[in-house]
Chains A and B, each alone.
Chain A
Amino acid sequence: MSLLKEPDFGTPAKDGPATVSLEVDGLSVCVPQGTSVMRAAAIAGVDVPKLCATDRLEAFGSCRLCLVEIDGRRGTPASCTTPVADGMVVRTQSPKVAKLRESVMELYISDHPLDCLTCSANGDCELQDMAGAVGLRQVRYGYEGENHLDAVKDQSNPYFDFDPSKCIACSRCVRACDEIQGTFALTIEGRGFASKVSPGAGESFMDSECVSCGACVQACPTATLQERSVIQLGMPSRSVITTCAYCGVGCSFKAELRGDELVRMVPHKDGGANEGHSCVKGRFAFGYATHPDRVLRPMVREKITDPWREVDWDEAIDTVARRMVDIRRRHGAEAIGAITSSRCTNEEVYVVQKMVRAAFGSNNVDTCARVCHSPTGYGLKQTFGESAGTQDFRSVAQADVIVVIGANPTDGHPVFASRMKQRLRQGAKLIVVDPRRIDLVRSPHIEADHHLQLRPGTNVAVVNAMAHVVVTEDLVDESFVAARCEEFDQWAEFISRAENSPEAVEAITGIPAAELRAAARLYAQAPNGAIYYGLGVTEHSQGSTMVMGMANLAMACGNIGRDGVGVNPLRGQNNVQGSCDMGSFPHELPGYRHVSDDAVRGIFENLWGTALLPDPGLRIPNMFDAAIEGTFRGLFVHGEDIAQSDPNVQHVLAALGAMELVVVQDLFINETAKFAHVFLPGASFLEKDGTFTNAERRINRVRAVMKPKNGMHEWDIVCQIATAMGYPMHYDHPGQIMDEIASLTPTFAGVSFARLDEVGSIQWPCDDDAPQGTPIMHIDAFTRGLGRFVPTPFVPTDERSTRRFPLILTTGRILSQYNVGAQTRRTANIAWHQEDLLEIHPHDAEDRGIADGDEVTLASRVGQTKLHARISDRMPTGVVYTTFHYPVTGANVVTTENSDWATNCPEYKVTAVQVALARPVVREQEAHALNGVLAAELVD
């Protein structure tokens, strides 16, 4: 439920033209075939009383409150389950249905505690509303009989309570878990009066398979499932629509407040990305914004060994500017630079890169997208002409075959995963390409048709083999290729070579040739085949090659340019797409235009009033190398913890330690801030005004729910630093920054805050040709004109398992935590994940004498760390897996400097390692055996 009520039409909309005409309470209405009477009535402006119905769920017909009379039909059918018919005449109000509804309500209320005045849902309770709607004035049945009023509360979940005494058994929670989330964690246990909602088989919510997405809480019409914050703080009194700052799905939320205190985040039904759904992070894990660890005052120190000294903003800004200018004077502009953050708004990112190019005087600006999706930018630009995914999220509902490569959507992009699972339950086929048996491979009502469990580092060999099958078995969409693409013949000759056949690469990839051939045929022959991928594609030494390989495959099969197809990166952070769009890469100005292009540079120079450099600047890994070399000495780090998130931590620390000036802007003193000379407190997303751009190029408004707790907007801090360095930068409002972006960037030409406020969100390109934005790209032609096939030779990584380091480590993230954990570790989400664990196959564990829970040493050629082992057969033998959410574990202590050949994106997914018990232990069985030997020796 929610304070800000959106219209609820009772049952879901039906596709198709409105061809069925009927009359409801004398009002004419025309609706699509298959629409329910309840929905038709709502469209006509007539609200039929309901409890078990909501338009997010299929009709269920259990509450019997929505009964109506229909001319020519017997009885009083439920309007939610009765489809409309042409010429139908419906009466929603009559003495007969009024009596029936009143009786039904009377029964509900007879088993419901009458504590409305003290109930946490008072004023936001559909049962309360319906009692009024049906005119209930008395309840003839007392509490003497059997009832559920003493049912015990389940308070196991840290974010919501389950109070079964208030349950009306409408099944909305169960159906939300099934239909929307797709976890199937809830059920109705028992029959008749004994029916009750149960997580799993009589377990608590916390012990069940519940993923705490909040869909059940959202669906509950009473206070049965209620946010703990509402119980503790009371019902919110105002609501602000904004955008989640966790993953790249970019869910819209209503931030509901009581005064200036945020009570709850409720998923926004009109949010284009999430359409009313959420995950445990976006829905509940916002407590970090008010965590006591937050630093709210600027701090400076001369040396990193000095204690911090709190200063006012003027002194902090002056210190940054003075020391940057000093370094520039002594070592040149190429010695200073900045890193933008994909967690910050487009407007903040834009001003940081502008500060670097115009005020610092260098192109040394890079973004944390460098270490995640930079190969996406390169690969899709080379092949399609635009550095972005091709589809909107809704498109997956039209896919017939879904290929998930190197992504774990149920953990990393859970709200999109729910959309995908809905389509899979409808019958779409699924191919998973992943070394690890991710949840999608087999979960309730979903089973992958093919799990290509490849060896880490062999993606390109796999995609080449799939394309080989397509070309050599005449599965190419010849007409699409002829009309829309170029350089096909060269590519086809390359890909047809025997070395790319499934049989030839089987020894490399570990995938049986027959299985790979079957998967390739399935994708190629699908009416609509869609590829979704994540960092398991990009974070390899051949990440860019793999992106181009997937683009080749999609073009060869004609799977580009319409609903249900495409090549779709699942972006890691909320604004990866936006930070790249905004010119964060050292070689590109906003809109992915190269700095060497005189005409493009001239446009920026004219508006910015200063000359810009035509050569690319340093990328993040190059910054570290240059720092150690001594040619890069001043770094502004905006909202990123490079000392935890970047590979080969020892190398990163050496670079940070070598710099004269490190400025960190963040919410918390993170690992990087330990090397900082100036700490600038940042604002949480709840305090920001601006925009984020999600993985489907959707630009969403981020609205300030409260004033910045640090006292300044981040974009303004950056502008003041630039100004103090002698380059005046001033905006009155972030909307002016977006106006400047739109004036300089053709793909954003039609974007403004006013337009976004009007339509909700816009997917770029948005210009005169596409004033409403572009949900699906490359429909009639590719951005570059013709799609370009690029040969993609498989070049194995230099990182190989050896006798010393015989295992391959691959890393990822988990549902409840987010990246380096700076936010989620400061929320109750730690209830699900208190530490990073090393997943190791039982055979590999047994070889090393490792039992579940043992502390182990994880070592690579660059470093070692300790963590606890979890025995799991989700990986094949020879592969171990861990997450990187905790600094104490420091998973990136062991990852190496290997990187993608084209973009320097680190190869996080392949590190040769050895695992050993941290402290040799004598197990009980071994002790028994040893005792036996000793006893025998004594007898002898």
Chain B
Amino acid sequence: MSLNAPAEIRMINSIAAHFGYLRTEQAATAVADHIRKFWDPRMKQRLLLLIASDTRDLDPVALSAAVLLR
């Protein structure tokens, strides 16, 4: 992943990587829960906006988690 990716993309990918020990569905749920618990709503909104236009930089677990956040 590019170091120049938007902060929210880098952050969700990083969270997804650390829940990598879980199966994909569980991991996606854990990532979404983490974001609900710790992210300001505008960061969630920005993430969803970013994903709406481009998901190339997104880890598959992160993408699944983002879907749960919609």
Contact = CB atoms under 8 A, between A and B. Distances in A.
Nearest to B5: A798
B34 A616 contact: no
Interface string B10-24: 110011011011000
Interface string A81-96: 0000000000000000
Interface in A491-547: 494, 541-542, 544-545
Interface stretch (A564-572, A617-625, A810-818, A916-924): A617-625
A626 interface: yes
Q: Which of B7, B14, B18, B20 has the largest number of chain A CB atoms within 10 A? A: B18
B18 A902 contact: yes
A602 interface: no
Nearest to B2: A798
Contacts of A561: none
B21 A897 contact: no
Contact of A798 (B3, B21, B39, B43): B3
B2 to A, nearest CB: 9
Interface in B13-70: 14-15, 17-18, 20-21, 34, 36-43, 46
Contact of A631 (B20, B39, B42): B42
A798 B40 contact: no
A615 interface: yes
A594 B36 CA distance: 11
A596 interface: yes
Given A622-B43, A631-B42, A793-B21, A587 B15 contact: no
A729 to B, nearest CB: 24
B1 A616 contact: no
Nearest to A799: B3
Q: Which of A586, A616, A897 has the largest number of chain B CB atoms within 10 A? A: A616
A795 interface: yes
A821 interface: no
A594 B37 CA distance: 8
A873 B21 CA distance: 38
Contact of A897 (B7, B14, B18, B41): B7
A542 B18 contact: yes
Contacts of A625: 7
B37 A798 contact: no
A795 B16 CA distance: 10
A542 B15 CA distance: 10
> What DSSP secondary structure best describes chain B's contact surface?
helix
A608 B24 CA distance: 43
Contacts, number: 61
A791 interface: yes
B3 A793 contact: no
A545 B37 CA distance: 17
B40 A618 contact: yes
A795 B40 contact: no
Nearest to B6: A625
A689 to B, nearest CB: 34
Contacts of A616: 37-40
Nearest to A903: B38
A902 B3 contact: no
A626 B43 CA distance: 9
Contacts of A542: 18
A587 B38 contact: yes
Contacts of B43: 618, 622
Contact of A626 (B14, B21, B34, B42): B42
A901 interface: yes
Given A795-B18, A901-B11, A334 B42 contact: yes
A793 B18 contact: yes
B20 A793 contact: yes
Nearest to B8: A625
A898 B32 CA distance: 21
Contacts of A897: 7
A795 B7 contact: no
Contacts of B46: 629
Nearest to B3: A798
Contacts of B34: 902
Q: Which of B3, B21, B40 has the largest number of chain A CB atoms within 10 A? A: B40
Contact of B17 (A364, A596, A795, A903): A795
Given A616-B37, A616-B39, A631-B42, A494 B21 contact: yes
Contacts of A861: 3
Contacts of A626: 40, 42
A861 to B, nearest CB: 8
Interface string A788-805: 000101010010000000
B55 to A, nearest CB: 19
Contacts of A901: 11, 14-15, 17-18
Contacts of B39: 616, 622
B42 A798 contact: no
B15 A902 contact: yes
Interface string A575-616: 000000000001100000010100000000000000000011
Contacts of B20: 793, 795
Given A494-B21, A795-B20, A541 B14 contact: yes
Nearest to B15: A901
Nearest to B14: A901
Contacts of B36: 596
B40 A615 contact: yes
A542 B21 CA distance: 15
B9 to A, nearest CB: 12
12 contacts: A334-B42, A541-B14, A616-B37, A616-B40, A618-B43, A626-B40, A793-B18, A793-B20, A795-B17, A795-B20, A901-B11, A902-B18
Interface of B: 1, 3, 7, 10-11, 14-15, 17-18, 20-21, 34, 36-43, 46
Given A594-B37, A798-B10, 17 more contacts: A363-B40, A542-B18, A596-B36, A615-B40, A615-B41, A616-B37, A618-B40, A625-B7, A791-B21, A795-B14, A795-B17, A795-B20, A861-B3, A901-B11, A902-B38, A903-B38, A904-B11
Interface of A: 334, 363-364, 494, 541-542, 544-545, 586-587, 594, 596, 615-619, 622, 625-626, 629, 631, 791, 793, 795, 798, 861, 897, 901-904
The 7 closest A-B pairs by CB, nearest first: A791-B21, A901-B14, A795-B17, A618-B40, A901-B18, A615-B41, A793-B20
